[in-house]
Structure 1
Amino acid sequence: MIGQVWKDAGWYYEPEHAYEVMTAIARVGTHGSNHRFAWRGLANCNYSLTSSLHRQLVDEGESISETVLRAREDKILEEARRWGLGVDGGHLVDDLQLLADLQHFGIPTRLVDVTSNPMTALWFATAPVPRPARVTGDSPRPPTKYSNTGLLIAINMPWYREDPDGAKPQTVFKTVGRPPVTWNDFDGLSAKRNAGLRLPTPFLVSSSMPNPRLRAQEGYFLASAHPQPETAGGPMASLQIPVPDGDSKEVRSLLTGDKKRGLPPTLPFVAIFITARVKKQLRTYLRRTYSRTAKTLFPDYAGFRDFGAWKDR
């Protein structure tokens, strides 16, 4: 079944029209003032939400655990610094900033890209999916693209705290560029990363030195220690987010019916399916109304390389 891993969790909605998608986004954002959401778009709804490092280790045949993730992450950071990376203005950046920069250039990390802007996430959710090249007869068919069902994900962050609150620890970490203003901790450049990985929840990473793409996409990152075996798996496989059984009928009612009450307090996320037909409608709407295009979201050389019209024949 399409998107089975998400449907099994129960926290999903399947709109039939573009206007229902936009209504659902508005309802997610206005149900309950105590809810804060991070947004992510997947062009293919059959994928779970995992970090690039998680996927890399799976491809290598590794059994995923926090020990394995941490060992590879430490090696990547060590080799990056040995390479001469992680320096800004003559000062070393901390581990979280270096991980954010590595993520930007395609190096696998545990960071999961998200955005504060649902229209940006929706642009990614409505993207076509590449079809690999195939050989037919004596000649190969070049790679093509086709449109299948995508997914717009709103991740609830009830654990969000910019500052410690009594017994509740800080869960939002802003990266810094200079050791003198890095936490006065024996961990040094690793202090904030280590603090985040000790948490029983995800933590948020906001770059103090965002590159043009991160600024354009209003992006930041979520990360956490790898979930314990009893809670690992499911659609949020890289984040410590408990996923209780949901009821899709209740979710649909909350996102389409008259507002009678806020979202359930245990709501971990909402997954909104975007069918191929609706994708096309929304792409036009996003371009004309919200200026969401490859040019505005990828305003760098890599974006020009990947999306520029120079490739058109």
Structure 2
Amino acid sequence: MIKSEAERDRRWAMARDLMADEALDALLVYGEHEGVPAAPFAHDNYFTNDRPGTIVMFCRDEDPIQLVWSPMHVEDHIEATKRGDELWIEPARIRVGKDATHVAAGMAAGYSRGAQPHILINTGPSVVSWGDAPWAHRPQQPQVIADGDVVLAEVLNAVARRETQSQVAIAVGDVHPDLEAAAQVARACYEAGLAQLVPDNTFGDVAEAMITTLKDAGGWNVHPMVHSLNPYGPVCGFGWGLKTYAPAKAYGELGEVPTVGAGLPLEPGMTFAFEPNCVLNGHLVNLGGTVVVGNDKPIELNTSTAHLLRR
């Protein structure tokens, strides 16, 4: 382990340069718990020269703060100081704060300033993927939105342990005819699911109605057409259509996910995420929102996102 103050200053300068380049006021460096096999490199240790498993916070030009998960880290720091080990974080800036109370407080502060809890997003003229923004986990530049693109996103919000999900599809300018057609199919699947979301039916009735409408139109889905939010568990099947997609033929075994919880009886008050998605000729559109089972008909909470939006 390199133990020079010059190396410490070099590494801290790298963190601050990154903050300056990205116009950030703060930077969090998360360290997995020590001994985790999937994390042989301790990111926090790179900046602390100390026991791994902590969160390092860089705030503007101040020396970093180290949040540790238990008093054991403090005790270990004391012993290391006795031995004369070179430690890069001063004792006054080490806090036992890597816990739910402090993390919840940090999240609350972020939310109060308009921070988005979670969002999945993909953009482009033709995409068939779903998940977090690829530039957030791969070394690439953020995508530039252009005329003809579609912006596909899933916005998840939770309040008082209750969650809603909105599926957003925004057409930018003139999009490909297959995108327009896929949006129409996705909307038809949405309506087919709504027709079945009534008491005495089952979750399987809803999922099957949406999948049948999709298949009849010649489309396939990249993720579930619908899944439950309350109670959590039932989820519509997906994955079968990937086998028909030419670029996927180069891959190994392509399994599919079957519908889970098809036998669940529907009752008033149950909540479901409707997210009908359709791929036609390599063009994906995803629509929908949160729907509640009513006494006699469904209650839609996100009607605007159940249609293709225009920009």
Q: Do both proteins adopt the same fold according to a TM-score greater than 0.5, normalized to the shorter chain?
A: no
TM-score scaled to structure 1, two decimals? 0.23
Q: Which has the higher strand share?
A: 2
TM-score scaled to structure 2, two decimals? 0.23
Tell me: higher relative CO, structure 1 or 2? Use CA pairs within 8 A at least 6 residues apart: 1
Q: Which has the higher helix share?
A: 1
